Structure 1
Amino acid sequence: MTEGLFPRERATIAPGAVHVPGWLPAARQRELVDACREWGRGPLPYRQTVLPGGGVMSVRSLCLGRRWVPYRYLDAVGVPLPDWLVALGREALVEAYGDHGGFTPDTALVNFYAPGARMGMHQDREERSGAPVVSLSLGDRCVFRFGNEENRGRPYQDVELASGDLFVFGGASRWVHHGVPKVFPGTADPALGLTGRLNITLRETGL
């Protein structure tokens, strides 16, 4: 078994889609987990989203900044988007692209994956801005399926995301379908103090 023997390497998955393994150091990961817990105690706690067709998502989510509901953004801002998180998003784009390009996210979606939760293939298409999406992973490892713009099926690539990983997709890859078909329970470092997986995505709505 060679898992962990070789360091995971930075990779460009598709034009504009960059995976940077282990970008967040352990201390910063713990800070983010603590922040996610604190946000969940606020006025808009984690909830399972009910889709227009009546389906219920298995992940639990909350929004910071401009609020998202399927499939639109509201004018209301429930929990303000912290300036430090905006700055982290810009740092992420500098890491991925060499320049943040004036990235000013006004919304963040925080998804919590308890054991058995998954995310179906979808597009992030409610935004009017074509700015990149910044995704940060915490906790359990998962399979991140990165597909194509035309449909939810093949061709797609499966990328393993672990705690601390950064994934950015913009440019030619901004509107591709993507999802999380599988999370591997119990794979997080116990020192993180998290059972399950957290994912934070930062976006510009352009609204």
Structure 2
Amino acid sequence: MTRHAQSERLRLSDELDRLGPDLPTLCEGWNTRDLAAHLVIRERRPDLVVGLFIPFLSDRAEREQRAIAQGDYPALVDTFRRGAPAWNPMSRPKVDELANLVEFFVHHEDVRRAQPGWEPRDLPAALQGKLWTALKRSARLMFRKSATGIVLIAEGHGRYAAKLPDHHGTVVLRGTPAELVLYAYGRKSVARVELGGHADDVAALQEAELGLG
């Protein structure tokens, strides 16, 4: 079994090491140090992860993340590189692949594409296929706040109707699975996708909040 999530983990770790702690990312308000702290907390601090979903715990989670982010940056990145601890189900390869592939891919691009002069990576076909499969699982959730219908088309991989139209018509998004994933997860400004449809519908989609937010 090819472990694409593990490969993305290692590449993201290398990129965080290379850039250092204080460069921007595409995650609003986070630099590389903050993102590294988030990645470690996600796998090692379930008591803080719940703060992402329970509003009255969010302040504590944010304070703790800021404190962790101010620690030893190389050690923080190394902790992430080593992977989830044995007690975490994400330490198991199949769970890791299911839970982490898109997370690590998107955050890797959050780091890369926030820097000047970036270009899309030439990703292996197998990885593109895995991203397409993952996108089809999550697309209805990611596009739930769009007022338009959504059809995703990835050449060589197929098409997927992610949402029926609501107040607007349907917009067709074309791109590689990787670029469609980035768009669906709210990285619209850097995702290289083509949008087809009536101008008003495209504008409505561009204004919609996508992703988990």
TM-score (norm 1): 0.28
Q: Which has the higher helix share?
A: 2
Q: Which has the higher strand share?
A: 1
Relative contact order higher in (CA < 8 Å, ≥ 6 apart)? 1
TM-score (norm 2): 0.27
Between structure 1 and structure 2, the one with the greater Rg is 2
